[in-house]
Amino acid sequence: MEKFVVNGGKPLFGEVNISGAKNAAVAIIPAVILCDEPCQIENIPNISDVSLISRILQQMGAQVRRINKSSLYIDPTHISTHSATTELVRGMRASYYLLGALLGRCGKAQVALPGGCNFGVRPIDQHLKGFEAMGAVTQLVDGAIIEADADNLHGEHIYLDVVSVGATMNIMLAASKAEGMTIIENAAREPHIVDLANFLNSMGADVRGAGTDVIKIRGVKYLHGITYSIIPDQIEAGTYMCAAAATRGCITVNNITPKHLESITAKLREMGVVITEYDEAIKIDATKNPLKRCNIKTMPHPGFPTDCQPQFAALLVSVPGTSIINENVWDNRYQYVSELVRMGAHISVEGRLAIIEGGSPLTAAPVKATDLRAGAAMIIAALEINGVTEISSIQYIERGYEDVIEKFRALGADIKKVYYAGDNEDELRA
């Protein structure tokens, strides 16, 4: 068993470099299945989700080789199966992108239902609606495996009943090699959707309108190999920005796209944090002004991202006054609240609302990461506390944050990973 031990109470100062976007990587790597030649993907985050999807592709027959810490070489030409049903697949939320990729490549797909973070129902009905409109017959087998089979995968006009990032990207994958044109209306607009479209287009696909609510994909017969660099991770950047504000520090976040962070920087500015933007960096200074309360409502992009909601909750518990969070994306994303309450936070949850009475000092307590972003929130809260906090279930955090210990240490945090078994405890060296 492993856990993080944080000795908090110190403001963060310095610079941090942001890795490639997890949410882009876990779709772009499966997208290589569609390619007829090898590809090299750069600026890959070195996280467990990337390792997992790489191993899944290897199980399917692809050659996957790590060139360096942030680059992968993938040769999909030897994939001869349309099936991905192993335990590795079940353990990963984003494994559903294999459906669209295999359907586009083989005309059929058999994929185990995904796992990953457990903070609400994760329906894929909009994904299946899109595949069925394009001529596929889908069915659930034994309650655990989705099968899709299309004699003739063809373009179609698809309207998504709800804005869904996963469905938008999955349909884009299948449509890239389908016959004719597919039009997705009410499409999601997140930066990683634009990144996936840019990746596909670089290989020779014809995807237009990504970043708007109408995306048009004209299917092509052949996709050629390329070298492609993934965009920076806006949520990782937002996490370090929150941590700097929560500790009343001052940091510079490098290797980012400031436009992708507009909803996050707007809220921090509203709270009194001084923000300075550069071409590919942003400075967060929380040393100049007392922080003020604020309200947050999560929305699909370009609204405030649900993936930064727990981190802001950890920040707002340190700010005097009543702040209200309105979670509009996931039904059950407040599981982390009980962990913050364990640390002394005053938070009440009423349906989709979390009401935070901020300003009371937190106290150290053993807590756990209930999901990826909740784990990041635990680190932020621990950094605020004058005392030692132990965080367990850190496998969730390592799903999506590269070198999280090293990056926080470089900013002056006292944080380490330890191995524990019974009463024995040893620090794990990087």
Return binding residues: 22-23, 93, 122-126, 307, 329
Strands of the sheet containing 321-326, edge to edge, are 296-297, 321-326, 353-358, 346-350
Phi, psi of 139, deg, nearest 5: -155, 155
CA dihedral of residues 401, 406, 409, 410 (deg, nearest 10) = -100
On whether the CB atoms of residues 103 and 147 are closer than 8 A, the answer is: no
Residue 361 is classified by DSSP as: P
CA dihedral of residues 258, 262, 266, 268 (deg, nearest 10) = -50
Residue 117 annotated in active site: yes
CA 226/CA 229 separation, integer angstroms: 10
Tally helices (H) and strands (E) across the chain: 14, 25
Please state, in angstroms and as integers, the Cα–Cα distance from residue 395 to each residue in 7, 21, 289, 364, 376, following that order. Answer: 20, 18, 36, 21, 12
CA 76/CA 101 separation, integer angstroms: 11
User: Which tokens hold the place of 81?
Assistant: 């199966």
Residue 304 is classified by DSSP as: B
CA dihedral of residues 366, 372, 373, 376 (deg, nearest 10) = 50
| Rg, C-alpha atoms of the chain | 22
Phi, psi of 309, deg, nearest 5: -65, -50
On whether the CB atoms of residues 232 and 18 are closer than 8 A, the answer is: yes
Burial class (CB in 10 A: 0-12, 13-18, 19+), 111: buried
Residue 336 is classified by DSSP as: T
Catalytic pick from 35, 117, 242, 294? 117
User: Which tokens hold the place of 379?
Assistant: 């680190």
Angle at 237 between CA 233 and CA 241, to 5 degrees: 170
Residue 132: CB atoms within 10 A of its CB come to: 15
Return binding residues for UDP-N-acetyl-alpha-D-glucosamine: 93, 122-126, 307, 329
Residues acting as catalytic residues: 117
